[in-house]
Structure 1
Amino acid sequence: MSKNPVFWAALAFLALLTVTNSFFIVDQREKAVLFQLGELKGKDYAPGLHMKTPFFQAVQRFDGRILTLDNQTENFLTVEKKNVEVDFYVKWRIADAAVYYRATGGQEIVASDRLSSILNRGLRDQFGSRTIQQAVADDRDAMVQEVEKDAASKVKDLGIAVVDIRIKSINLPKNVSESVYDRMRAERTGVAADLRARGAEDAEKIKAEADRTAQVTLANAYKQAETLKGLGDARAAEIYAKAYGQDAEFYSFYRTLNVYRESMGGNQNLMVLEPKGELFRYFKGAGSK
C-alpha cells in the first residue's frame, strides 16, 4: 500500500466529498425536488436531513414561502365601455414542486408572468360584465371572489396555489370620473332629500300626537278640577248649613264679621250707608253688651 501523503490526502478528500454529497438538508422555508441524471426522482421533501446518491443525484430548491405578485396597473373596460385603471396584487405559493418545475422550469418570473395573465383575463371578464358603480362599490368583493375561484383551478397546472387576491385601487379617467361622481352625488342627494322628507313627516305626526295628548290631558285635568271644586263647594255648603242649624244667631254674626273684614279691611275703602241699616245691627248697643 502506498505511503505517499498526497495519495492519502486525495483519498480523504474524496471520502469527505462522497459523504457530503450523500446528504442534503431541506429548510422549512423551501421546496425541494431530486434529480438523477436529469430525471425527476423525488419531490416535496419534508424539512430536515435526507439522503441521496452522491454524484448521480442533485437537488434543486425553490422558495416555499408565500410570495407576492404586485401587478402593474391594468386598464379594463366595463359593460358601459368605460375605461378603469385597476391596481391589484396576489399572494401565491408553490403547491407541487414537481409540477411547478415542469411548468416553469423552476423560474419564479415565468410563474409570475403566467399567473398575471390568468388574473388579467379573469378581471377583464369580471369588469366587462359590470357597470362602474357595481365594480367600484356594490360588487367589488364578489368580483374578487369570482376571480380567485376561477384562478384556483387554472393555476393547478403551474403547481402553485393562490392564497389571496386584493384590489388596491380602481381609478377612473378624469372625463369618466367627473360624470360618475356627479351621478353618485345626485343619487345621494335624492336619498338625503327623501330621508329629510320622511323625517319631517314623522316629526309632524309626533308633534300632532303630542298636541292631542296635551289637549286631552288639560281637558281631563280641568274636568277633575271642576269636579273637586264642586265637591268642595257642596261640602262647604253642608258645613255652613250644619253651623246655621246649630246656632243661627252666631252664624249670622260670623257671616256679618266676614262682610266687615272683606269690605272694610283695606285702606282705600269708602262706604256711605245709613247707620240704621241691617248691616250695622251688631254695632247697636255694643257698649252695653
Structure 2
Amino acid sequence: MNRIGLIFSSILLLIVLASSTLFVVDQRQFGVVYALGQIKDVITEPGLNWKLPPPFQNVSYIDKRLLTLDSSDSEPMLTAEKQRVVIDWYVRWRISEPSEYIRNVGLNEAAGASQLNRVVRNAFQEEVNKSTVKELLALKREDLMAAVKAEVLDKVRGSKPWGVDVVDVRITRVDYVEAITESVYRRMEAERKRVANELRSTGAAEGEKIRADADRQREVTIANAYRDAQKIKGEGDAEAARVYAEAFGKDPQFAQFYRSLDAYKASFNGKGDVMVLDPASSDYFKVFRGGSAPAANSKK
C-alpha cells in the first residue's frame, strides 16, 4: 500500500514538474523567458516549449498583434493663427522587438501605450502650431498626419529603440474648443435664420403677387361672363318678344285672354291675397262656364 502511494506521489510530482517546465506560446503572443530577472530567450513562433522550473526561469507574454491607441485627452492646441482647437486621433502600432521593448519601455502593452500617447501628442502639438485651421481641415491634413508619423518613428527608433513599429497615424476629428464652438454655432444659426427670413419674405411677396393676379383674372372672367350672359339674355328676350308677337298676332282674342291670366297670376302672388270679382261680368269666369272670351276691343 505504501509502495502504491509512493508511485502515485512520484507521478504527481513528475506532472507538477512537467507543468512548470512546459509552456505554450499562442500565435498572437511573444513568449519571453526570464532567468533570474534577465531575459533569457524570446519565443516568436507558436507552439509547445520548455524551460527550467521556477525560480530558475519564468515566462511572460506580450501581445504581438496590431494595437490601436486612441487619444485620451481633450487639451486644446494652438494653430498658426492662434486658434484653440481640439484634435482626436488614433495610432495603429505593434511590438516588433520584445527584448528592446521590455528593456526600454515596460513589461506590458499598457506601458508602451502610455509613452506613445505622450510622444504622439507632442508631435501633433508641434505640427498643429505650424498649420492653420483650414489646412488642418482639408489642405494639409494628409501631410500633417504623415509628418506626425515620421516624428513618432524617429522618436521610437532613436538611441534607445522602443522595439515598436508605428503603422499609421490618423486624425478623426478637428474642432474648436467648446466656447468657440458655441459662438460658431450661434453665428451659423443667425445666418440660417437670416436666410430663412429672406426666403419667407420673398415667398410672401410672390404669394401676394400671385393672389393679386388671380383676383384680377377672376374679376375679368366674371365681367366677361356677365357681359356674355347679358348679351345672350337680350337676344333671348328679343326672340321671345318676336315669338309672342307672332303668336298673338294670329289670335288677338287669345292674346287678350292670356294677358288677363298673367294679370290674375300676378295679383294672387301671396297666400293671403284676396280679390272680389263679379262672376257675371268677369271674362275669366265666362270661359269656365263655357262662354267665349270677348273680343280684343271689348270692355271688361
- Which residue identity lines up with residue 22 of structure 1 in the other structure? L
Secondary structure in structure 2 of the residue aligned to 1:74: coil
For structure 2, list consecutive stretches of 5 or more residues without a partner in the other structure.
158-163, 271-280, 287-292, 294-300
Answer yes or no: is the 8 Å Cα contact 1:36–1:58 preserved in 2. yes
Secondary structure in structure 2 of the residue aligned to 1:62: strand
Quote the residue 1:114 is aligned against: 116
**Structure 1 Cα separation of the partners of residues 283 and 15 of structure 2:** 159
- Percent of aligned pairs sharing the same letter: 14
- Which residue identity lines up with residue 21 of structure 1 in the other structure? T
Secondary structure in structure 1 of the residue aligned to 2:50: coil
Pairing of 1:145-156 with structure 2 (within 5 A): 154=152
Answer yes or no: is the 8 Å Cα contact 1:94–1:100 preserved in 2. no
Quote the residue 2:238 is aligned against: 237
Quote the residue 1:130 is aligned against: 132
In the superposition, the TM-score normalised over structure 1's length comes to 0.59
**Structure 2 Cα separation of the partners of residues 170 and 182 of structure 1:** 10
Quote the residue 2:160 is aligned against: none
Answer yes or no: is the 8 Å Cα contact 1:22–1:51 preserved in 2. yes
Quote the residue 2:49 is aligned against: 52
Quote the residue 2:21 is aligned against: 21
Quote the residue 1:220 is aligned against: 221
TM-fit CA distance, 1:60: 2.7
> Structure 1 residues 109 and 170 mapped into 2: Cα distance closer, same or farther (>3 Å)?
farther
TM-fit CA distance, 1:245: 0.8
- Which residue identity lines up with residue 246 of structure 1 in the other structure? A
Deviation sequence 1:210-256 (CA, Å, 0-9, x none): 21022113312331232133223312321331232122334465457
Quote the residue 2:177 is aligned against: 171
In the superposition, the TM-score normalised over structure 2's length comes to 0.57
**Structure 1 Cα separation of the partners of residues 81 and 188 of structure 2:** 18
Answer yes or no: is the 8 Å Cα contact 1:70–1:88 preserved in 2. yes
Answer yes or no: is the 8 Å Cα contact 2:89–2:169 preserved in 1. no
Give RMSD over aligned pairs: 5.1
> Structure 1 residues 252 and 208 mapped into 2: Cα distance closer, same or farther (>3 Å)?
farther
Choose the corresponding residue for 1:99, options 97, 102, 120. 97
Secondary structure in structure 2 of the residue aligned to 1:197: helix
Answer yes or no: is the 8 Å Cα contact 2:88–2:171 preserved in 1. yes
Answer yes or no: is the 8 Å Cα contact 1:100–1:160 preserved in 2. no
Secondary structure in structure 1 of the residue aligned to 2:96: helix
For structure 1, list consecutive stretches of 5 or more residues without a partner in the other structure.
267-282
Choose the corresponding residue for 1:31, options 29, 32, 42. 29
> Structure 1 residues 127 and 194 mapped into 2: Cα distance closer, same or farther (>3 Å)?
farther
- Which residue identity lines up with residue 13 of structure 1 in the other structure? L
- Does 2:71 match 1:74? no
TM-fit CA distance, 1:68: 6.1
